[in-house]
Amino acid sequence: MKNPTETMFETAFAEDTYKGLTTYPKYLLSKYIYDKNGDKLFQKIMEMPEYYLTSCEYDILKLNAESISKSFSSDSGFDLIELGAGDGKKTKILLKELISKKFHFDYLPIDISRNVLEELEESLKKEIPEVNVNIQEGTYFKTLEKLSEYNTRKKVIIFLGSNIGNLSHKEAVEFLENIAQAMSEDDMLFMGFDQKKNPQTILDAYNDPAGITEEFNKNLLVRINRELEGDFDTDKFLHWESYDPETGTAKSFLVSKEKQTVKIKKLGLDINFDAWESIHTEISQKYDDSIVHWLADEAGLKVEKSFGDKEDCYKNYIFRRK
């Protein structure tokens, strides 16, 4: 195994993979699942009957589109900035409502995946050509550095899909703090939070019988094989989900089924796995009102309003600066 100081990393993916697989316990960052194949797999996940998050939020937006759109509006127009835009399926509900009400706005979808952004831009040209769209490629944290530059009129920052759940509470507070610092008094944040619920419902959402979520997580190993010349045998790893109802934390792991060594040529690494040793791949945090209010308070924000589905399985909150 090479010393990290002797290793020249060609990409952030290479560096983060090195760090994750040479520490204990081992981990890989979930953001790297989202290459072209990962994007397609996630779109399949969102269509699964077990993955309630998409349908719940879709219903919330559909039922409350008029009320939500009115809260976005401003006499001088506004910039609609979406973090982690993905395929924009749910956002299009709001875009159609905003266009129908003749509100003046620019739509700036941001995502780590250039591929998914280009597909979104193309679909908008066909479905809602009236929308003025300006795609932005980058991570959430890089994007936050630019947010304060949009200061000539109201900013509406939206973050759907409970993507905040991919962050620990400490990371979420830091993330929300950065958003709050970039917001003026008139700006608002509209964000989705998956709620605590029957633990079995949550486990089923991340452990579907069709194995799509398993393939999604294993795409990390496939990507390492392709881009870093690794020799992971994905069949030798078990996809495992856990959920702690006390903390509201769902975690995903890839567990080695046997004692094995994996070579990653471009990193000059031989990674040894004990039988049943794990790689942590994802976190998906679940919330209730008290946690959301606490996160907001810690970050210098306040909850102005929330919208839930019939069973409060999922909620979208409007935040403003304190």
What's the CA gap between 161 and 86, in Å, rounded?
Answer: 10
Residue 185: inside a domain, yes or no? yes
- Looking at the structure, tell me whether residues 144 and 103 fall in a common domain: yes
Q: What gap in Å lies between CA 96 and CA 40, rounded to an integer?
A: 24
Q: Is residue 204 a part of any domain in this protein?
A: no
Tell whether 225 and 317 lie within a shared domain. Answer: no
Nearest to 20 by CA among 258, 286, 284, 264: 264
Q: Are residues 191 and 305 in the same domain?
A: yes
Task: Enter the tokens of residue 150.
Answer: 């949009």
The packing angle between helices 36-46 and 114-127, to 10°, is: 60
Residue 159 included in any domain: yes
DSSP string, 248-296: TEEEEEEEESS-EEEEEGGGTEEEEE-TT-EEEEEEEE-B-HHHHHHHH
Q: Are 246 and 208 in contact (CB under 8 A)?
A: no
Instruction: Provide the domain count of the chain.
Output: 2
Q: What's the confidence (pLDDT) of residue 22?
A: 98
91 in the same domain as 182? yes
Q: Give a yes or no: residue 262 inside a domain.
A: yes
For 47-78, the pLDDT digits (tens) are: 999 999 999 999 999 999 999 999 999 999 99
For residue 136, what pLDDT is reported?
87
83 domain residue, yes or no: yes
157 in the same domain as 116: yes
Q: Are 90 and 160 in contact (CB under 8 A)?
A: yes
- Whether 85 and 148 map to the same domain: the answer is yes
CATH, residue 299: 3.40.50.150
pLDDT attached to residue 232: 98
Q: Note whether residue 38 is domain-resident.
A: no
**Would residue 42 count as lying in a domain?**
no
C-beta atoms surrounding 186 within 10 Å: 14
Amino acid present at 190: F
SS3 of residue 143 by DSSP: helix
pLDDT tens track for 8-34? 789 999 999 999 999 999 999 999 999
For residues 131 and 161, membership in a common domain is answered with: yes
Q: How many CB atoms lie within 10 A of CB 200?
A: 9
Same-domain status, 165 and 70: yes
Residues in the chain: 322
Same domain for 97 and 185: yes
Residue-number span of the structural domain to which 242 is assigned: 4-33+210-285
Which sign, positive or negative, has the C-alpha torsion 31, 35, 36, 38? negative
Per-residue pLDDT for the chain (322 aa), expressed as one digit of tens each? 445 445 578 999 999 999 999 999 999 999 999 998 998 999 899 999 999 999 999 999 999 999 999 999 999 999 999 998 888 999 999 999 999 999 999 999 998 888 889 999 999 999 999 999 999 888 766 777 777 777 789 999 999 999 999 999 999 999 999 999 999 999 999 999 999 999 999 999 999 999 999 999 999 999 999 999 999 999 999 999 999 999 999 999 999 999 999 999 999 999 999 999 999 999 999 999 999 999 999 999 999 999 999 889 999 999 999 9
Answer whether 141's CB lies under 8 Å from 117's CB.
Answer: no
Residue 79 CA to residue 112 CA, distance in Å, equals: 20
Looking at every residue in the chain, the average pLDDT score rounds to 93
Same domain, 56 and 154: yes
- Residue 132: which of 95, 107, 114 has the closest Cα? 107
- Position 7 scores a pLDDT of 58
pTM of the model: 0.88
Per-residue pLDDT at 5: 45
**Token reading at 23:** 């520490």
Same domain, 251 and 236: yes
**Is 68 inside any structural domain?**
yes
Cα–Cα distance, 112 to 137 (Å, whole number): 6
Same domain, 272 and 237: yes
